[in-house]
A = this chain, B = another copy of it.
Amino acid sequence: VTERDCQTSHRSVTLPGLVNISAFVPNVSNVITGPADLMEISRVYLESGFTHCQFMARSQRGPIITDLPSLRAAYSAVQGSSFTDYSFTVAGTAYNSNNIADSAEQVTALFLPIRELKNKISTVSDLLQAWPLDKPVIAEAKTADLASLLLLASLQNRAIHITGVSNAEDLALIMKVKEKDYKVTCDVNIHALFINQDDYPEAVFLPLPEDQDFFWNNLSSIDAFSIGSLPTAIAQITGNKVENGQGIKEALPLLLSAVNEGKLSVDDIILRLHDNPVKIFKLPQQQAAVEIDLDFSFRSNKRWSPFTKGGLTGGVERVISKDETVVLSGDVVASEHDGKLIVSQVQPIVAPQASKPLAAITNESAII
What is the CA–CA distance of A118 and B119 in the complex, to the nearest angstrom? 12
Contacts of A151 in B (CB 8 A): 147-148, 150-151, 154, 173, 177
Are A147 and B176 in contact (CB-based, < 8 A)? no
What is the CA–CA distance of A145 and B122 in the complex, to the nearest angstrom? 14
Query: Within 8 Å of chain B (Cβ to Cβ): is A125?
Result: yes
Interface string of A131-151 (1 = CB under 8 A from B): 000000000000111011011
Query: Within 8 Å of chain B (Cβ to Cβ): is A121?
Result: yes
- Knowing A145-B144, A147-B144, the reply to whether A122 touches B154 (Cβ < 8 A) is no
Are B143 and A173 in contact (CB-based, < 8 A)? no
Contacts of A172 in B (CB 8 A): 122, 125
Query: Within 8 Å of chain B (Cβ to Cβ): is A152?
Result: yes
For chain A, the bracket of interface size reads: 20 to 34
What is the CA–CA distance of A98 and B229 in the complex, to the nearest angstrom? 39
Query: Within 8 Å of chain B (Cβ to Cβ): is A356?
Result: no
- By beta carbon, the residue of chain B nearest A176 is B155
Are A122 and B177 in contact (CB-based, < 8 A)? no
Contacts of A122 in B (CB 8 A): 169, 172-173
Task: Output the least CB separation between A61 and chain B (Å).
Answer: 23
- Knowing A121-B173, A144-B147, A169-B121, the reply to whether A154 touches B154 (Cβ < 8 A) is yes
Are B143 and A147 in contact (CB-based, < 8 A)? no
Task: Output the least CB separation between A35 and chain B (Å).
Answer: 39
B121, B145, B148, B180: the one within 8 Å of A155 (CB)? B180
15 A-B pairs besides A144-B144, A144-B147, A155-B177 with CB distance below 8 A are: A119-B143, A119-B144, A121-B143, A121-B169, A121-B173, A122-B172, A125-B172, A143-B144, A144-B145, A144-B148, A147-B151, A147-B152, A148-B148, A151-B173, A152-B176
